[in-house]
Structure 1
Amino acid sequence: MNKSDSMLGAAKLSLHTEMGQFLNDHRIRLLDAIAVHGSLSAAARSLPMSYKAAWEALDSMNNLSARPIVIRSTGGKNGGGTQLTPYAHKLISLYKAMEIEYQKSLERLQEALEQTPEAKEVNDFRKLMNRVNFKTSARNQLVGTVTSVTIGAVNVIVELKISEQLTLVAAVTKDSAQSLGIEFGQELVALVKSSQMVLHQGDKLKLSANNQLKGVISRIQPGAVCSDISVELEDQKSLSVTITQESLEQLALKIEQPVTVCFNASAVILCRYS
């Protein structure tokens, strides 16, 4: 079969969690390049890929993974060295093995579709394949397990264990909690927009924000109006925070500076796996 004539095209395996893309061909090549160069900036240049895109891809993988994919040591504007964990090497091997099988399955599927005279059935199938991938504009996506559910007069307070050292609190309406079927031990995805977070310096804070997560600044991406700040948390998790350029200058933020990321429980959107 000539792959260029295939209705489905050559197989490029893309693995998704229920709330976002986890692994694909581009990310695997990025991980392979990191293994070779030991540096995110060098790996990005070799592909080529922008440093910003590479950084955000690593953040997404680490946040959605049960175990860290990479370990980064900050230092300098490009974030220092980057190393793959043993878990990442296993994932790469598994992905490449699955991609081979995926290609074989796609070729068998193509042969079956070519023998189907009903064009509508083929089009319906292709529409279905396009709908199975779900994307969200929220850059901060953290997976956690429900450790506490407190039912109030109007809202339900849900506590999520993101990792051994990280806990997050969300507030949802009773109707939403019932719709999601939230219960102890359930795994949920927490989404938080970067613009709904506030950065603070120092440890002695008196704030009403339910979530106050300590970390260090690992990347600063200045902009004309707003800047993106990446904050490395415990257990290789991270958050992206958007602040104004004026705030960036007033706070005199710099790489490796300790900060606290604050946001209200109401700013957290909870999502359940289908």
Structure 2
Amino acid sequence: MQVSARNVFTGTLTAVVNGAVNAEVELTTAGGDKLVAVVTEGSVKSLDLAVGTPVVAYVKAPLVMLLVGVDGMRFSARNQLSGTVSALTRGAVNTEVAITLPGGAVVYAVVTNEAVLELGLAVGATATALIKASHVVLGVPA
């Protein structure tokens, strides 16, 4: 299957916290990087989600926000993934930014060229990707 989402994380569910309407699930990649998703309880049942389930998480790059120099700041986004900028692909209006996480997974964000300049993003710089848990879509092998 091919998808248009730039961010594709494969891993195993390492936590499932059920609620009345939604559940919070944690995916851990082979390299140890973690991503949290919020899904409906209906999805938990229909996808048969449980600890140990292999899953694939998808996040579109424009939904990823980038931060630099955030020491001492707290954010409501469940996924705060810090790593090293490994590539910048500049376009006429936007730039695709690749951030390699400590475990080896890569997070892609699409931000304006102005944002790249304002944040001082360059290959080798440290940056943090913020992803709302509700923006993570999960899939399981059929």
The percentage of aligned residue pairs carrying the same residue is: 36
- The letter of the residue matching 1:185 is G
**Equivalent residue for 2:141?**
273
> Which one has a bigger Cα radius of gyration?
1
Q: Distance in 2 between matches of 1:227 and 1:217?
A: 12
**Equivalent residue for 2:81?**
213
Shift of residue 252, structure 1, vs aligned partner: 1.9
TM-score of the two chains, using structure 1 as the length reference: 0.50
Q: Distance in 2 between matches of 1:144 and 1:181?
A: 15
2:29 to 162, 169, 176: 162
1:197 maps to 2:91: no
- The letter of the residue matching 2:9 is L
Q: Distance in 2 between matches of 1:163 and 1:199?
A: 24
**Equivalent residue for 2:53?**
186
1:263 maps to 2:117: no
**Equivalent residue for 1:131?**
none
Q: Is the Cα contact below 8 Å between 2:77 and 2:133 reproduced in 1?
A: yes
Segments ≥4 residues shifted beyond 3 Å: none
Q: Distance in 2 between matches of 1:256 and 1:223?
A: 20
The Cα offsets for residues 173-206 of structure 1, whole Å up to 9 and x where unpaired, read as 1111111010111100000110111111123331
1:225 to 93, 100, 105: 93
Matches within 5 A, 1:230-249: 230-249=98-117
5+ residue gaps in structure 1?
1-133
1:141 maps to 2:8: yes
- The letter of the residue matching 1:201 is V
Give 3-state SS (helix, strand or coil) of 1:240's partner: strand
- The letter of the residue matching 1:213 is L
**Equivalent residue for 1:19?**
none
Higher relative contact order (CA 8 A, sep 6+): 2
TM-score of the two chains, using structure 2 as the length reference: 0.94
Q: Is the Cα contact below 8 Å between 2:31 and 2:105 reproduced in 1?
A: no
Shift of residue 212, structure 1, vs aligned partner: 0.6
5+ residue gaps in structure 2?
none
Q: Distance in 2 between matches of 1:164 and 1:220?
A: 23
The count of corresponding residues between Structure 1 and Structure 2 is 141
Shift of residue 165, structure 1, vs aligned partner: 3.2
1:171 to 38, 44, 54: 38
- The letter of the residue matching 1:247 is A
Q: Distance in 2 between matches of 1:156 and 1:145?
A: 16
CA-based RMSD of the aligned residues comes to 1.2
Q: Distance in 2 between matches of 1:251 and 1:184?
A: 38
Shift of residue 164, structure 1, vs aligned partner: 4.4
1:153 maps to 2:5: no
Shift of residue 256, structure 1, vs aligned partner: 0.3
